[in-house]
Structure 1
Amino acid sequence: MVAMSAGPRPVENGFPDGLRVPLVVVGAALALLMAWCVLALPAAGQSGGPQVVAQSQELLVNDLARATADSIGDVAGDLSTAGALYTVHPDPSPAGTLAAFTRSIPQALGLALVHRSSGVLLAGTGEPVPVESLPSKDVDRITVNLVRDQSGATVVLTTAPLPGTQWLVLVTTGLKIPATTLSGSPAEALLLTTPDGQVVKSRGSFDPEYQRLVTTASANAVTAAGSVVGEESTGPVVDGRRTTPIAVYAPILTGDPARPLGLNLVLVGSAPAHGAPQTPVETEWVAAALAAAVLITLVLIGFGFVLPLRRLRGEALGGHHRRRYRLREATIVSAALRDEIIPVRRGRISARTLVIAAVAPLLVCSAVIGVVARETVPTVPDLVVQGERGLAEVTAGALRDQLSATLSDLRTFATRANGEVASLKPALDNLIAQNNRYRSVYVTDAAGSVQVTAGRAPLRTTERPPAGSGLHQQNTAGRIPVLYASTPLPDHSHVLIGELDVTKLSSILRRSAGNGKLVDSGLRTLASADGYRAFDMLTDQALRQSVTDALGGVGRPGTDQIDGEWYVVAAATVTGAPSTDPLRWTVVLQQPLTTLPLPDNVVRRYVLFAALAAGALALLLLGWYHLCFVRPLRRLSVAALGLAQGDLKTVIYPERLNEIGTLSECLDAARRQRIPTAAPSVPMLV
C-alpha cells in the first residue's frame, strides 16, 4: 500500500466536489419538503367552508353582471339604429321624431327630445325623463348614465345625438336582474348596488343585517369581481347549523372599451361555517411514503457509496487497515494500490448500479403518488353542482336575450323601412356596425333573392323566406350553421333577414368555465366555447341525457365521467320567449372537477407538487453523483486495471479535486514507485 503521508496532501475542493456535499444539500431539501408535507397537506385537506362556496359562485355572478350589461347596451344599439333610419325619412317636427323613436325602443320607460345648446325640452312621452340629471348636453356620441327619476328610483339614462340636427334623444329604462335559480343556500338575494353600497334593485330575500357585507362588496367591485366572507358562524341557522354570510360581487361594465357604469351586482347568501374535513389518512400516507423513500435513498447512498469511498481514500493516504468493499470499483482501486491480484467480481456491485438503485425508491414513490393524485376524483359539494346549473341557466338566458333582441331589432327596423329598398343601405350598414350579433343583414324579394345587403356575404341559400317573423335554423349539415331572423317589410313584398354570427354566440358560451355547447333538438352542435365542427353530434351518454332531461323540463345537474375525465354537467334550454321556444335549443356545460375551487383539488395540487419536487430532487441527486463521482470512479477503476496488468507508462491524472481525485493521485504515485530504476554506470579503467 502506498502511503502519501510523507508528501504534501492532495488538494480537495469543497462545494460542489465533496462526496458528502450532494447528500447534505439534497437531503436538506428533501427534509424541508417532508416538513412542508406534514404541515401543509393536512391543513389543505381541512380547508373549505364559506370561502370555497363563495369562490364557486364568482363565475355565476360575473356572467349575470355581463348579461345585465348586455341588456343596458341593447338600448344604445336600438337608439343608434333608430337614428340611422331617421336620416332615411326625417321628420321635421319634434313630436313626429319622438314618435318614431318610441316605436323603435319598446323597453323605454320614458323618452324626451331636448335642444342640445339650450337644454329646452322639445317633446316628451311616457314617464318624465330627468333631463336636469344629464351630466353634459354637449353630447356627440351615445352615452349611458345612472340617474334618479322623480320618484327617487334609479334608472338608466341613454342619450344620443340626432344626426343632422341640434336635438338630443333621451331614453330612460329600468334596471333588470337576469333570471336565475336562487336555491336559498348559498344564494338568498341578488342585488344591484351603487359603489357606496346602496341597494337600487333586489331579487330574493335580503337580510338587512348583511348591509355591512354588501357595502364592503360594493366598494371592492369597482375594480374587479370577487367575493368577501363575513364573520364566521354569524349567519342564519340552516339544518340546525350556524352558517357564515358571504357576498359575491361583479361590476357592471358597458361600452366599447368597457367602462364601469357605477353599478354592481352582488349575490348575498350564507354558507356552512366549516367545510367537510378530509380524513387524515388521505394526506398522511403521502408524507409517510415519501419520508420512507427519502430515508432509504439517503441511507443507501450514504452507507453504500459515500462511506466506502471515504474509507478507501483514508487508506490511500496512509491508513493501515485493509477493508473489504462491496463496490466493484473500490475493490479494484484498493487492490491496485496494494499491488495485489484483483479479486473476482462475483458478489460485488458497480457504483452506477448502486446509485441508480438508491435513487429508484424515491423516483418510484414520486411516480406512484403522482399517478394516484391524478386519478383521485374530488368530492363535489351539492352547492357547487347547483351553482353549475345556475351558470347554465344564465348562459341560456343570455343567448335567449340575444336571439330575442335580434328579432326585435329587425321588427323595429321594419316599422321605419318605407320607400325604396335601395335607400335602406346606410341604415343596414349602421345596424351591422352597432350590433356585432349579426354577420350580415339584407333585404330579399318574395322569392328570396337578395336586393340590398350589409356585412358579409349571406350564407343562406336562396329560397322563399318563411312567412311572418321569427327565428330560424336553415340547415342541419354543412360547414357553418345558418341561423337567422326574418320579418316582412311594410310593403309585404320584401323580407328583412339578419344572419346570426356563430362566433358571437360562441363568445357568450366562453364566459362560463369549462366547455359550453349550444345544441339543437337533434343534439347537433351549433356553437361551442372551444373549437368544434358544425353539427357534431353529442356522443357521450351523460351529455345526451342531460340535454334530454332539460328539454323534458327537468334539469338534473351532476357529475359524470367523459372520455376518462370527471366533469360537472348541467344543461338549460334557451326558452322563455315566444321567438326562441320553437327552436328547442339547449345549452350544455361541462366543467372539469379539477378546475373547481375545492379542498380536494387543493390537496391534489399540493400532492402533485410534492411528488414532482421529490422526483426532481431525486434526479438532481442521481445526476450530481453520476457526473461528479461515478463516471470519474469508473474511469479510475479502468486505469487501476491497466496498472495491475503492468501498464506503467499511462499517467493517471485527477479529473476533479475531490476524493476521487485524491485516489487518482495516490494511484499515480503507486505507478511511479513501480517503475524500475536504471542500474548505475561503472567507469572504465584504462
Structure 2
Amino acid sequence: MPLLGGIRPPIALLCLLIIALAGLTAKVLGPAGDPVVPKAVLGSQQHFAEDGAIALRASIDERVTDLNRTAAALNAGEPADPERVLSDLSNTYQKWTGTTVLDLESGKILAARGETIPLAWLDKDVLTGDHALTPRMVRLETGDVRLMTMALLDWKDRPQELLIASNSLSVPAINLGPFRSMAVVARGGEVLATAGFEQAEALNSDAERDELAFLQKQMTRLSERGAKEAEEDPVSAREPGSRGYPGVSGTLLGDSYNGRVATAGYASLASADPEQRKSVGAGLGLTVVAMLPVVQEHAVGQERELYGLVVAGVLVVFGLLAAALLWMAVQRPLLHLFLESRRLARGDLTRPVEIPRWGETARVGAALERLRAQLSGDAEADREAGGRKGRRGRFGLRVPLALTAVLLLLWCVPVGLLLNRTDASVSVPSTMVNDQRDRTDLVADRVRRALNEAQADLVSTTRLIDADDPDATTGVLDDALRKHTRYGSLYVLDKGGDVVARAGEEPSADWSEDEKDASLIRVAGEGGKKPVIQAGAAVPDAKGLTLVGEIRVEFLNSLLARPGLGEVRVVDAKARTIAGSNGFLAFESLPRESLTDLVRAGGVKVGAGPVENGLLIREGRSVTVAAAAPFSGGGVAADVGWTVISWQNAKHFEIAPYEREDRSVLAGMLGLALIVVCLGWIHLVVVRPLRALAGGAEKLADGDLKTVLYPRYHDEVGAVVRSLELVRQQLQARRQNQARRSAEPRLGAGGR
C-alpha cells in the first residue's frame, strides 16, 4: 500500500532511535553501579605484566644467544682448557647461576662453576634429533626450576664437549614499586618464582602476616587463572593483547581484604609476531602475572542517576517536538493531497480542493483546484485558482526539516561539546603516576642492559681478532655483524685512529683514545640526521687496537616502544633526544620545559645515586603524566648520563571523568548521525520528489497534456502522481472529444 511508504517510516525510525538513544544516554551518563576498581589501574597491571613478559623473554633469549655465540667463537679458535672457557665466560657475562663443561664420550665433568648442575635429565632425546640441544626447564632436588642451556664445543682432534649453563627463571629484575608483586608461572598454573612479597619474619603484627598470607593465596589463584587464559594461541586469540602487545594478555580481579581488592594483569611470553615466535623464551609456555591490592572506589549513585535521566528526558521531549513538527508540516498536508487527488481521479468534482497554506503542498493543492475546474468546465474557478497559486518559495518543506534539525541540535551540541567537559582539575589515581615512573625505570634498565650487552659482545669478539691478519679480522667482523643486528657497522682502529678492518657502513664519527671522554659508550654526530652511538673494546694482546661498534638508533627505538606508556625518549645529560619511540630530530630538545626540568631533577643524586621521578603536569585544560628514570646500576652504560623520559596525556587512561566526557561526545555524535539519517531520508524520498511533483502539477494545470507523469516511489507522493496522471488522461480525452465535436459541423457543410 502506498501509505506504508513515504514519510511515516522515517518519522517512526526517528522516534525509535530517539528512544533508544535516550535509554543509552541514561545508562552511560548515569551511575556506574557496584563498587569498582578503576579501569585505568587494571589496565596498568596488564601493562606491567606485559613489560615483565618482554623483559623475561629478552633475558632468556639473550642468555641462550650469548652462550651459543661464545661456543661458536671458541670453536673457531684454538682448543681451550675447560677451566679457561668457564673463566672467560664468567668474566664476560655475569648471568648464569652455574656452568659446566662435560666430556660427551665419557660423561665426565671437566670443569664446573657456581651451583651444581644435575645431569640426570641428559639423555639421547636431549642430545639428538630435531630438538637437540634445545633449552630445557629442569627441577632441582631443592624444588627450584632452572633453565638449562647447552652448546657444543667441537675442536679438531679432540673429543666433543658439552657446555651447559643454568639460570633461574626468576622474576625480571625490575622496579615493582610499593605493594606490587609479580610471579613467573608455568603451564598448568605452577608458580615458579615470585617477587615483591615481604618476608613474614620481618612483619611486626599478626594482622600484617594475615594480609601477607591472603595476598600469597591470591597470587596462587590468579596465577592459575592467568596461565589458563594465556594458553590461547596468540595468533587466533580473541583478545591477543593491549594496544600492540603481540602476546596474550589481560586483567583479573581477585578477592578483597580490609577494603582492598587484589587486581592482576597477566601476559604470556608466546607471541603472534613471526620473528618472536622463533625465540626460546616464547616456546617455554611461561606467563608473567603482576598483582597489586587496590582500594575499591564507589561510584556516586543518585546524583549521576538523576543526571542521566534528566539528559535522556530532555532528548525525549525534543524528539517528540521534532516528530510533531514533521507530522504537522509534512505528513498531514501530504495525506490531504493524496485524498484530494484520488477524489479528482475518481471523478468527484462537486466540491473545491482545500489548498494547504504554504510550501510545495500549497502549490500542488492550487494545481489540483485548477484541474478540478478544468474538468468541470468552470472557467471562472480556473482563473480564480490560477490567481492564488501556492507560493513557490525557495525553501518550502526544507524549512520544517531545518527546524527539526535545529531542535535536535539543541540537544546534541550541548551534550557533545559542553556536558562532562574535563579540565586540569581531573583527579588522576596516584597508582597511575607511580606505575608510569616504575615502568619508565624498567625501560631505562632495559636500554642500559642492552648497551652493556653490546659492549660485552664487542669484548667477546675481540678475542677472535688477529692483529696481524687484516683479512681474517674483516671476516670475523662480517660474521659478528650478521649475528649482532644491533650494529650498523664494526671496525678496528689503530692507535692513530685509522681503520684497519671494517664490516658494514662507513664509520660515522671518530673514536680517539686521547679524548677526555674515555667511556666505552659514546654519542657523536651532533648536527647530523642521526645520533651516532658508539661502543668500544680494546683488542687484547694488540696494543693500540680498538674494536668499535656503531649501534643503530633504530635498535634503541625498538626497545622504547611499550603499550600504554605514551611517548618515550632517551636523552643525554643536556636533555637532548638520542632515541625515541616515535619520530624525532637528532639532539632536539624536549617539547616542554617542564619535561626538561623533570630530567634535571632526576639527575640529582639522592643517597647512592640518581633516582626516578614521576609527576602530574597540569597545563591549560590538559593533564600529563610524566616520569624520568636516569641510568643506574652496573655496567659500562651506567655512567653515560642518559635518562629515559616518558609522558602521556591522562586522557589515555580509563578514568571516570574522561570516560564520561567520551560518552557525552559519543551521545552527541550519535544524535548527529540520527539527524543526518532520518532527515536525509525524508528529504530524499519525500521533499525532493514533492518539489518535482509541484512543478509537474503546475505544468499540467497550465495546459501541458503531453508530458506523462509516472511515480518513482510507492508512497503518498507516488499516489498523488498516479492520480494526476489519471487526471491528465481525462483532460486529454476531454480535449480530443471537444476537437472531434468541433470538426463534425465543418465536415457536414462540406458534404452538401
TM-score relative to the length of structure 1: 0.87
What amino acid is the match of 1:243?
R
Deviation at 1:565, TM superposition (A): 5.9
Counterpart-to-counterpart distance in 1, 2:494 and 2:51: 40
1:312 aligns with 2:364: no
Q: Identify the residue that residue 581 of structure 2 maps to in structure 1.
A: 529
Q: CA distance change for structure 1 residues 452 and 418 in 2, over 3 Å: closer, same or farther?
A: closer
Contact 2:135 2:149 in 1 (8 A): yes
Deviation at 1:63, TM superposition (A): 1.1
| 3-state secondary structure, aligned to 2:356 | coil
Q: Identify the residue that residue 67 of structure 1 maps to in structure 2.
A: 55
Q: CA distance change for structure 1 residues 362 and 195 in 2, over 3 Å: closer, same or farther?
A: same
| 3-state secondary structure, aligned to 1:594 | helix
1:173 aligns with 2:160: no
Counterpart-to-counterpart distance in 1, 2:162 and 2:27: 66
What amino acid is the match of 1:382?
S
1:616 aligns with 2:673: yes
Counterpart-to-counterpart distance in 2, 1:125 and 1:583: 32
What amino acid is the match of 1:65?
A
Q: Identify the residue that residue 27 of structure 2 maps to in structure 1.
A: 39
**Equivalent of 2:288 in 265, 286, 289:** 265
Counterpart-to-counterpart distance in 1, 2:113 and 2:546: 31
Q: Identify the residue that residue 555 of structure 2 maps to in structure 1.
A: 504
Contact 1:195 1:221 in 2 (8 A): no
What amino acid is the match of 1:193?
V
**Equivalent of 1:274 in 270, 276, 297:** 297
| 3-state secondary structure, aligned to 2:286 | strand
Which range is displaced more, 343-352 or 359-368?
343-352
Contact 2:463 2:539 in 1 (8 A): yes
Cα deviation 1:267-305 (Å, max 9, x = unaligned): 222122335448516645653454344333222212211
**Equivalent of 2:43 in 37, 55, 60:** 55
Q: CA distance change for structure 1 residues 671 and 89 in 2, over 3 Å: closer, same or farther?
A: closer
Deviation at 1:324, TM superposition (A): 5.5
Counterpart-to-counterpart distance in 2, 1:472 and 1:184: 35
1:540 aligns with 2:532: no
What amino acid is the match of 2:323?
L
Q: CA distance change for structure 1 residues 28 and 499 in 2, over 3 Å: closer, same or farther?
A: same
Alignment of 1:624-639 (within 5 A): 624-639=681-696
1:480 aligns with 2:530: yes
Alignment of 1:556-567 (within 5 A): 556-560=613-617, 566-567=623-624
Q: CA distance change for structure 1 residues 425 and 350 in 2, over 3 Å: closer, same or farther?
A: same
Counterpart-to-counterpart distance in 1, 2:66 and 2:477: 13
Counterpart-to-counterpart distance in 2, 1:86 and 1:634: 90
Contact 1:465 1:495 in 2 (8 A): no
Cα deviation 1:536-565 (Å, max 9, x = unaligned): 221323322332332235654344468986
1:432 aligns with 2:481: yes
Counterpart-to-counterpart distance in 1, 2:94 and 2:709: 97
Q: Identify the residue that residue 213 of structure 1 maps to in structure 2.
A: 222
Q: Identify the residue that residue 386 of structure 1 maps to in structure 2.
A: 434
Counterpart-to-counterpart distance in 2, 1:198 and 1:264: 10
Cα deviation 1:223-245 (Å, max 9, x = unaligned): 422221113xx22x2xxxx1111
**Equivalent of 2:152 in 144, 156, 161:** 161
Q: CA distance change for structure 1 residues 520 and 321 in 2, over 3 Å: closer, same or farther?
A: farther
| 3-state secondary structure, aligned to 1:614 | helix
Contact 1:251 1:260 in 2 (8 A): no
Alignment of 1:18-33 (within 5 A): 18-33=6-21
Alignment of 1:76-87 (within 5 A): 76-87=64-75
| 3-state secondary structure, aligned to 2:278 | coil
Counterpart-to-counterpart distance in 2, 1:652 and 1:286: 48
What amino acid is the match of 1:366?
C
Q: CA distance change for structure 1 residues 264 and 621 in 2, over 3 Å: closer, same or farther?
A: closer
- The RMSD of aligned alpha carbons is 3.3
| 3-state secondary structure, aligned to 1:544 | helix
Q: Identify the residue that residue 95 of structure 2 maps to in structure 1.
A: 107
Counterpart-to-counterpart distance in 2, 1:593 and 1:96: 55
**Equivalent of 1:360 in 380, 384, 406:** 406
Deviation at 1:573, TM superposition (A): 1.4
Q: CA distance change for structure 1 residues 401 and 449 in 2, over 3 Å: closer, same or farther?
A: same
| 3-state secondary structure, aligned to 1:91 | coil
| Runs of 5+ unmatched residues, structure 1 | 1-11
Which range is displaced more, 88-97 or 559-568?
559-568
Q: Identify the residue that residue 416 of structure 2 maps to in structure 1.
A: 370
Alignment of 1:449-460 (within 5 A): 449-460=498-509
1:228 aligns with 2:252: yes
Deviation at 1:618, TM superposition (A): 1.6
Counterpart-to-counterpart distance in 1, 2:140 and 2:465: 33
Deviation at 1:169, TM superposition (A): 0.8
Q: CA distance change for structure 1 residues 92 and 563 in 2, over 3 Å: closer, same or farther?
A: same
Counterpart-to-counterpart distance in 2, 1:665 and 1:264: 73
Counterpart-to-counterpart distance in 2, 1:563 and 1:527: 28
Deviation at 1:406, TM superposition (A): 2.0
Q: CA distance change for structure 1 residues 93 and 184 in 2, over 3 Å: closer, same or farther?
A: closer
Contact 1:253 1:260 in 2 (8 A): yes
Q: Identify the residue that residue 454 of structure 2 maps to in structure 1.
A: 406
1:299 aligns with 2:357: no
What amino acid is the match of 1:550?
G
Deviation at 1:503, TM superposition (A): 0.8
Q: CA distance change for structure 1 residues 509 and 96 in 2, over 3 Å: closer, same or farther?
A: closer
Deviation at 1:45, TM superposition (A): 8.1
Q: Identify the residue that residue 8 of structure 1 maps to in structure 2.
A: none
Q: Identify the residue that residue 130 of structure 1 maps to in structure 2.
A: 118
| 3-state secondary structure, aligned to 1:209 | helix
Deviation at 1:332, TM superposition (A): 1.6
Counterpart-to-counterpart distance in 2, 1:424 and 1:555: 42
What amino acid is the match of 2:553?
V
**Equivalent of 1:441 in 490, 493, 498:** 490
| Runs of 5+ unmatched residues, structure 2 | 198-211, 233-247, 371-384, 605-609
Contact 2:615 2:626 in 1 (8 A): yes
Contact 1:42 1:284 in 2 (8 A): yes
1:146 aligns with 2:196: no
Q: CA distance change for structure 1 residues 179 and 127 in 2, over 3 Å: closer, same or farther?
A: closer
Q: CA distance change for structure 1 residues 214 and 651 in 2, over 3 Å: closer, same or farther?
A: closer
Alignment of 1:235-246 (within 5 A): 235=257, 237=258, 242-246=259-263
Contact 2:189 2:223 in 1 (8 A): yes
Q: Identify the residue that residue 598 of structure 1 maps to in structure 2.
A: 655
**Equivalent of 2:717 in 650, 660, 666:** 660
Q: Identify the residue that residue 242 of structure 2 maps to in structure 1.
A: none
| 3-state secondary structure, aligned to 1:665 | helix
What amino acid is the match of 2:500?
Q
| 3-state secondary structure, aligned to 1:136 | helix
Cα deviation 1:352-406 (Å, max 9, x = unaligned): 2222322233346435433347964565322122211121111111111111222
| 3-state secondary structure, aligned to 1:557 | strand
Which range is displaced more, 207-216 or 138-147?
138-147
**Equivalent of 1:203 in 185, 195, 199:** 195
| 3-state secondary structure, aligned to 1:299 | helix
Counterpart-to-counterpart distance in 1, 2:17 and 2:650: 32
Cα deviation 1:416-437 (Å, max 9, x = unaligned): 6565353344443443334333
| 3-state secondary structure, aligned to 2:30 | helix
Counterpart-to-counterpart distance in 2, 1:190 and 1:442: 42
Which range is displaced more, 254-263 or 487-496?
254-263
Counterpart-to-counterpart distance in 2, 1:126 and 1:416: 26
What amino acid is the match of 1:257?
K
What amino acid is the match of 1:397?
D
What amino acid is the match of 1:529?
S
Which range is displaced more, 575-584 or 473-482?
575-584
Q: CA distance change for structure 1 residues 665 and 181 in 2, over 3 Å: closer, same or farther?
A: same
